[in-house]
Copies of this chain bind each other. A is one copy, B any other.
Amino acid sequence: MILRKISVFTLVAALLAAGSMATTAATARSAVTLETVTDGLSYPWSVAFLPDGGYLVTERDGLLKFVSGEGHQSVVPGTPEVFAQGQGGLLDIVLSPDFKTDGTIFLSFSQGSTEGAGTSLFRARLVSQEGGYRLEDGRTIFTGNNKAYGGRHFGSRLAFAPDGHLFMTIGERGDGARAQDPSDHAGSVLRLTPNGEPASGNPSLERDGYRPEIWSIGHRNPQAAAVHPQTGELWTVEHGARGGDEVNIPEAGRNYGWPVISYGRHYSGEKIGEGTEKEGMEQPIHFWDPSIAPSGMTFVTGDAYPHWQGNLLVGALRGQHLARLELDGATVVSQEKLLVDLGERIRDVRQGPDGFIYVLTDSGDGRLIRLKP
């Protein structure tokens, strides 16, 4: 009993001190200090920043956590039941562009059914309560068609465009042909209203066979999406097989080629599809071969990181680093691997309203880490 009491005291002391614990990582262009905001997260997937401070973090096995500025965690009840198998579960979170007035959040998640699982979109209002928050008026506002068994390739990231439409990415569920089928939501980028309806101006108006929610097709498993801060265009990053991860700038009605063209090979070493280029299919602006397994992306804005201004940061799971891409317009001109010494899979990277970059490590003892310049 005495040992147990000491231990609880030690843990509390450690939690209180966590904000001040930090290690420094050198990079080619500057040194950043890593501050652990909180740890002990269960496979955290995505982080959103609350205007009054604190963070909302999704955990893949199904919990939404509120993390206070001091790093204390509490569960946010009211989330949808998720299909937590393989790569499926509770996935992305974004706040409404009008969050300060409507208090609305959006969650993407894997939804199970007797016919299999698919990717869905959930909307709710975040309401404060003693010690944290809860969700109210939660509703699943979009459900991908053609559910399938297995735990592979659900996507999914969410990103609001400047015009208020919501982009949502969906993986092809491990079935490449679904990415080439414009009547199938899987393997696509969708463009929705905040009610989960098809956005006006989507390609289905001009093209037969397109589901009205679909923006672009031919995507394998896009697990990163962000809107470019200057152009307002959607950028996405998707997983290849053993190689062929891609950065794309998806345009309406375009086909991004999976599994017909790819810069990678299957895990077996077997060639993929027809090659790397084909008429009527788009080229990525950048690819990785072998795969780094990219997840999460953000553009660096503001002046907190003068040497990274305008760069694109992409998390690497298998690659266990944070990829920093220097851009000239839509061209990647150089690349640096950050956080290599951390030796952790990076699931998400975001820039907070404080101008700092935050990453989530993909682990059963996952951390939210702030990168201080």
Contacts and interface: CB of A to CB of B under 8 A. Distances in A.
B23 A86 contact: no
Interface string A25-53: 00000000000100111110000000000
A268 B23 contact: yes
Nearest to A270: B21
Given A61-B85, A178-B7, A365-B87, A150 B23 contact: no
Interface of A: 3-4, 6-7, 10-11, 17-18, 21-23, 36, 39-43, 59, 61, 63, 84-88, 146, 150-152, 174-178, 180-181, 184, 266-270, 290-291, 318-320, 343-344, 364-365, 367
A42 B270 contact: no
A177 B7 contact: yes
A175 B43 contact: no
Given A22-B269, A174-B365, 15 more contacts: A3-B178, A3-B180, A7-B175, A17-B268, A21-B267, A36-B268, A40-B86, A40-B150, A41-B86, A61-B84, A86-B365, A151-B365, A152-B365, A318-B320, A320-B320
Contacts of A63: 85
Report the copy number of this chain in the oligomer: 2
A174 B150 CA distance: 32
Given A6-B177, A318-B344, A364-B152, A42 B86 contact: yes
Contacts of A42: 85-86, 151
Contacts of A86: 40-43, 61, 364-365
13 contacts: A4-B146, A6-B177, A7-B177, A22-B268, A39-B267, A40-B86, A42-B151, A59-B85, A63-B85, A86-B364, A88-B364, A318-B320, A318-B343
Contacts of A152: 40, 364-365
A79 to B, nearest CB: 14
Contacts of A365: 86-87, 151-152, 174
B84 A40 contact: no
Nearest to A319: B343
Given A42-B151, A61-B61, A270-B21, A177 B4 contact: yes
